[in-house]
Structure 1
Amino acid sequence: MKLQKTLIALALAGAAFSAHAHKPWLLPSSTLVEAKEAWVTVDAAVSEGLFDIDHVPVKLDGITVTGPDGATVPLENASTGKLRSTFDVKMTKNGTYRIALVSQNVFASWKANGETKRWRGLESDMAKQVPADAQELKVSRTKGRLETFVSANTPDNAIFKPSGSGLELVPVTHPNDMRAGEKATWRFLLDGKPAANQAFSLIPGGVRYRGTLGEIRQNTDAKGEITFTIPAAGMYLVSASWPAAAPAQPGQPPQMPPLRMTYAATVEVLPQ
């Protein structure tokens, strides 16, 4: 059940272009901590209102924290409640840490005795769960990445080496050093190559108090890069998915592509 909820949360990450879709997110108490003993607390949830605690928690079993030296950092004081999960990260080394939930999962549907069967899970479990002779078998695969970045005292760039798998954000402007009214440059990669003309969405927190979504939509250039100015300070959710959704056909269910990649991250913009 824990794994299933994790997979569902990642699948939902690609729906962030919709104003009303449930979105998974990781929300740190701060993205830049200047202290001799640096700690950060992170909330993890899936919600309809961005950063609101109103739906279900993100399970913590798949979350990893990687330090500036590449070592895995343990989650401290981890707990999962009815509506959210929470954990602490002790940052014993100066530099930038990546907090991420990365998954590859499979969705399959087929016919058995005239009835439609469906299954979602890991690639390694597919052979056990889906009959080899399944009729009208349709399979789609999703690579999902949900993350945030936090720094202790002095941000650095060691953590931003791309994995080469899925849709990734490789920031040219450090995400813990963005300020309102200043220009920032981001680069998106698709399986390690520039994601040209990649659409992404940037939504500021506090939607419930504004009454408007305040979404910013942009597209990368041929190099997979975009330079833009963020108008106001605050926490933001950046999200993207590939390929672009196919136009809906009247009377037909939404078509799932054979391969889908999703990305979502929480970033903080500081006052100027």
Structure 2
Amino acid sequence: MKRIKSPATVALVGILIVGLLPFSAQAHRQWIAPSAAQVEGKAPYITVDAAVSESLFEMDSFPLKLDGLVITGPDGNNITPENPYTGKLRSAFDLQLNQKGTYRMAVVTESVMATYKLNGEEKRYRGTPDGLAKEVPANAENLQVSRTFGRVESFVTNGKPNDTALQPVGKGLEMQPLTHPSDYMAGEPARFRMLLDGKPVASLNVTIVPGSVRYRDALQETAVMTDANGEFSVTWPIAERYWIGASYPPRAEGPPPAPGQPRPMVPVRYSYSATVQVLPN
């Protein structure tokens, strides 16, 4: 797949992740998808789906849990969703847009994976940071710990858009829309900036996948690399729902470890994905 060099601009022709899985045609992807990205009204409702799926925006695998759900309103304050639900294949919630402006909905997660030996036996731990100290004994040997921070988000605007909820959080890997999400139109460019703990990330691979995958014979994902300022640009070919994803640091390439030897664990890994909706021009 051809990478676009700086300035990072890509035209998508023809057009989650579970934890640490790579962005590939067979990867599961985490996503949240509002029923509409632009609405008008005094206090309209939207419904938001959240899932982890192999076929993008289809409920074919399992739900994305809402434990880390954070909704930021147009005034910068947090909002409590209504009717949160988690089933076999998806989670969902309702959101009343009482304020005019732009809302940011994000599922933020932090997890820990560890490998160690106890009495000569190989052990593994996967769970929360708080559970690590409880589950892994103090006398564990060859302890390796990898922490992961994830953010899965989307945006919706009621009436006139604003930028308050779009300001960088400054923690983990995140995407700052330089073109407002309400202005994504087919045939027009949109610019973004990728940040890690509030600082631009240069030379970061970003994957972009259009929705309606089940109606095509190819995934048609596209990769673009951020420039020196952490920025990249997309020109949307058609009106559609799109998934944007990235992870950091880059995955190490090379031969697999020797038989019986574990692959070295990355101390910290970050993942990010967003769902955006592109309207007809």
**Structure 1 length-normalised TM:** 0.92
**Higher deviation after alignment, 75-84 or 24-33:** 75-84
Q: Establish whether residue 177 from structure 1 lines up as the match of residue 207 from structure 2.
A: no
Q: Does 1:39 align with 2:45?
A: yes
Q: 1:182-224: CA deviations, max 9, x gaps? A: 0111001111111011110010111111111111110110000
3-state SS, counterpart of residue 179 of structure 1: coil
- Structure-2 residue corresponding to 1:258: 267
In structure 2, what is the equivalent of residue 85 of structure 1? 91
Contact 1:68–1:97, Cα closer than 8 Å, also in 2: yes
Give, as a single letter, the amino acid of the residue that structure 2 aligns with 1:235.
R
Shift of 1:123: 2.0
* Counterparts of 2:108 and 2:20, CA distance in 1: 13
Residue identity matched to 1:257: V
Give yes or no for contact 2:186–2:236 (8 Å, CA) kept in 1: yes
Quickly say closer, same or farther: Cα 1:69–1:184, change in 2 above 3 A. same
Q: CA deviation at 1:255?
A: 4.3
Query: Partner residue of 2:224?
Result: 218
CA deviation profile, 1:217-242 (whole Å, cap 9, x unmatched): 10110000112312111111100000
Deviations 1:39-80 (A, max 9, x none): 111111111110111111112222121111122212112222
Contact map agreement 2:257 2:263 (CA 8 A) in 1: no
Q: Which amino acid aligns with 1:78?
A: P
Please name the residue that 1:162 is paired with.
168
**Larger RCO: 1 or 2 (CA < 8 Å, sep 6+):** 2
Q: What is the aligned counterpart of 2:135 among 112, 129, 144? A: 129
Residue 202 (structure 2) pairs with residue 196 (structure 1): yes
| 1:196–1:25 Cα change, 3 Å | same
Counterpart AA for 1:28: P
Deviation, 1:251, is 5.5
Pick from 31, 55, 66: which aligns with 1:60? 66
**Aligned partner of 1:227 among 228, 233, 248:** 233
Instruction: In structure 2, give the amino acid aligned to 1:164.
Output: G
Mapped partners of 1:11, 1:41: distance in 2: 22
Paired residue type of 2:163: N
> Given that residues 146 and 267 in structure 2 are in contact (C-alpha distance below 8 angstroms), is that contact kept between their aligned partners in structure 1?
yes
Structure 2 CA distance for partners of 1:16 and 1:159, relative to 1, 3 Å: farther
Find the residue that maps to 1:208 and give its secondary structure: helix
- The amino acid that maps onto 1:203 is V
Unaligned runs of 5+ in 2: 1-15
Question: Are residues 235 and 115 of structure 1, via their aligned partners in 2, closer, same or farther at CA, if it must alter by over 3 Å?
Answer: same
Normalised TM-score (structure 2): 0.89
In structure 2, distance between residues paired with 1:16 and 1:148: 21
Q: 1:227 to 1:215 in 2, by over 3 A?
A: same
Structure 2 CA distance for partners of 1:115 and 1:248, relative to 1, 3 Å: farther
Counterpart AA for 2:232:
I
In structure 1, the residue matched to 2:12 is: none
CA-based RMSD of the aligned residues comes to: 1.6
User: Does the Cα contact within 8 Å between 1:41 and 1:86 map onto a contact in 2?
Assistant: yes
Alpha-carbon distance in structure 2 between the residues aligned to 1:102 and 1:268: 21
Do the aligned residues in 2 keep the contact of 1:98 with 1:148 (CA within 8 Å)? Answer: yes
Counterpart for residue 280 of structure 2: 271
User: How many angstroms does 1:15 deviate by?
Assistant: 2.8
Aligned-partner Cα distance in 2 for 1:35–1:198: 39
CA drift of 1:250 comes to 3.6
SS of corresponding position for 1:247: coil
Q: Provide closer, same or farther for how the CA distance between residues 48 and 254 of structure 1 changes in structure 2, counting only shifts above 3 A.
A: farther
The count of aligned residue pairs is 263
Change (3 A) 1:38 1:248: farther
Cα distance in structure 1, aligned partners of 2:21 and 2:206: 11
- Unaligned runs of 5+ residues in structure 1 are 1-9
